[in-house]
Structure 1
Amino acid sequence: MMHFEIWQWAMAAAGAFLIGLSKTGIGGIGLFAVVIFASLMPPRESVGVVLIILLAGDLVAISVYRRDADWGHLLRLFPWAGLGVIIGAVATGMLPDALMRVLLGAIVVALTIAQAIRSWRAPAADALPRWLGPVAGLFAGITTMIANAGGPPMAIYLLAARLPKITFIGTTAWFFLAINLFKVPFSYSLGMITAGSLWLSLRLAPFAILGALLGRRLVSGMNQRVFEGIVLALTLVAGLRLLLG
């Protein structure tokens, strides 16, 4: 594991804080943390470091929102997300990272635009499309395995399901705790998690925990429509970031 200068430690701590904040506040913020870590170290190492930090934030999120999940939606998503993780693990060893980012970014942008149009045309009446759960779950699994970027597909699905903001966050918390734990053996076998990366993750985890503890305060007083708008905007930015590299 590379040795950091002071400014690099500061950036890494800020990234870990944003990861925690995304777990109990606005989920889209987390992708900016992924970008920070990818700029500080090689991509494969950054994915492994971020995964353990994510799990620290997941544990705090579960402690805060453990009673707020919609398990009906989770049970629809889990099998597809698990399959997506397996596909992502295989793709990580076979396909160029640049190609995968472009493909996944295009999918996220398309889903985001479709959800925005759907919200504007029928703000309260549309039924949840049957195909959206499998598609969102599958691509959430693929993107989270490749780049810890599974939030955008998940956000699109939960926005389409029109969950209240607290249920949205609680459902997301349980989803990513389960999926991130499922990813650990794959990440280890692919060399993404090493003794060095684990050491770095554990040193940064307290910043993620602090961010997660503050996230609830951030979101508790936020208007539902404002919350949905912010999530949709950050999801679009995340998709464009993947698409443009």
Structure 2
Amino acid sequence: MHFESWQWVLLAVAALFFGLSKTGIPGISMVSVGILANLMPAQQATGVVLPMLIFADGFAFFIYRKNLEWRRVGRLLPWAVGGVVAGWFALGRINNEQTAQVVGGIIALMLGLHVWRQRKNAERLATQAPAWFGPAMGVFAGVTTMIANAAGPVMTLYLLAMRLSKLEFLGTGAAFFLVINWIKVPFAVHLGLITPASLILNLWLLPAVAVGALLGRPLVERVNQRWFENIALGLAALTAIKLLFF
């Protein structure tokens, strides 16, 4: 992989945002996904993204390990693994445009569901969620993360619906993605998404990921809960619009 100087700058910014998204502002990683998709072929970009996300997941898990709710993770994982398998199966049968539309449609559906739950007394529904809610979120997260590394907005909607605090939100999300992203690795290698060349590029970009991850905790401590939720939901909405229409 050969890049011009300005392209290396964009790659470094994307890597920094990956780290920041895991420990500070969920959803900002979609900006990075867009940067990489414009610098290299889509499948190549997917292979480059996954190891950086895993590296950032490790930082986030260590930083927020005392703030996570394992029962939320355990409820989702079996369903998410099923979604990963479904996404792996689908990747060989749909093109890039169809993939973007599928992911965008899922995110838009989840946003609509979140608004509905808020109007129906979100706090009550969060503690008495219908039986299908967790499994559906798990499957959607698995499919979207396998197809496009785009499960962040889906998990944002699920964790916000559970009425978690900022730190519980980040800790629980970090634990979930640390496990599910490692599960995705064999599937990505099988599809040829992760290659020796992509791993070499990852090694050059990991320092920027680490910087972003370390900056995230001080940043999130300065953002109040309402702003935090609005930013997360806004980024999810922008993601859906971009995937569906652009």
The TM-score, its normalising length taken from structure 1, stands at: 0.96
Would you say 1:149 and 2:150 are equivalent positions? yes
- How far has the Cα of 1:224 moved from its partner? 1.2
Q: Is the 8 A contact 2:48 2:199 kept in 1?
A: yes
Distance in structure 1 (CA, Å) of the matches to 2:119 and 2:179: 33
What's 1:91 paired with?
Answer: 90
1:192 partner SS:
coil
2:213 alignment partner AA = A
Would you say 1:190 and 2:172 are equivalent positions? no
- Runs of 5+ consecutive residues of structure 2 not aligned to the other structure: none
Would you say 1:135 and 2:136 are equivalent positions? yes
1:18 alignment partner AA = F
2:217 alignment partner AA = R
Deviates more, 1:104-113 or 1:174-183: 104-113
Q: Is the 8 A contact 1:13 1:207 kept in 2?
A: yes
Distance in structure 2 (CA, Å) of the matches to 1:146 and 1:123: 30
Give the CA RMSD over aligned residues.
1.2
2:113 alignment partner AA = A
Distance in structure 1 (CA, Å) of the matches to 2:207 and 2:129: 38
Distance in structure 2 (CA, Å) of the matches to 1:164 and 1:69: 10
- How far has the Cα of 1:221 moved from its partner? 2.5
Distance in structure 1 (CA, Å) of the matches to 2:31 and 2:129: 29
- How far has the Cα of 1:17 moved from its partner? 0.2
- How far has the Cα of 1:50 moved from its partner? 0.7
1:63 alignment partner AA = F
Cα shift readout 1:11-66 (whole Å, capped 9, x = no counterpart):
00000000000000111101111111011000111001011111111111111011
What's 1:177 paired with?
Answer: 178
Q: Output aligned runs, 1:227-242, within 5 Å.
A: 227-242=228-243
Q: Is the 8 A contact 1:116 1:232 kept in 2?
A: no
Q: Is the 8 A contact 2:122 2:161 kept in 1?
A: no
Q: Is the 8 A contact 2:101 2:244 kept in 1?
A: yes
- How far has the Cα of 1:121 moved from its partner? 4.7
Distance in structure 1 (CA, Å) of the matches to 2:71 and 2:147: 26
Distance in structure 2 (CA, Å) of the matches to 1:141 and 1:82: 6
What's 2:15 paired with?
Answer: 16
Cα shift readout 1:148-183 (whole Å, capped 9, x = no counterpart):
111111111111111111000000001111011011
Distance in structure 2 (CA, Å) of the matches to 1:130 and 1:6: 51
1:62 alignment partner AA = F
- How far has the Cα of 1:128 moved from its partner? 2.3
- How far has the Cα of 1:5 moved from its partner? 0.2
- How far has the Cα of 1:116 moved from its partner? 2.3
Cα shift readout 1:94-146 (whole Å, capped 9, x = no counterpart):
12221122122112112112212422452533232322211111111111111
1:67 partner SS:
helix
1:94 partner SS:
coil
Q: Is the 8 A contact 1:53 1:202 kept in 2?
A: no
Would you say 1:114 and 2:113 are equivalent positions? yes
2:124 partner SS:
coil
What's 2:219 paired with?
Answer: 218
2:110 alignment partner AA = L
Distance in structure 1 (CA, Å) of the matches to 2:110 and 2:90: 22
What's 2:56 paired with?
Answer: 57
2:6 alignment partner AA = W
What's 1:162 paired with?
Answer: 163
Distance in structure 1 (CA, Å) of the matches to 2:147 and 2:202: 18
Q: Is the 8 A contact 1:15 1:34 kept in 2?
A: yes
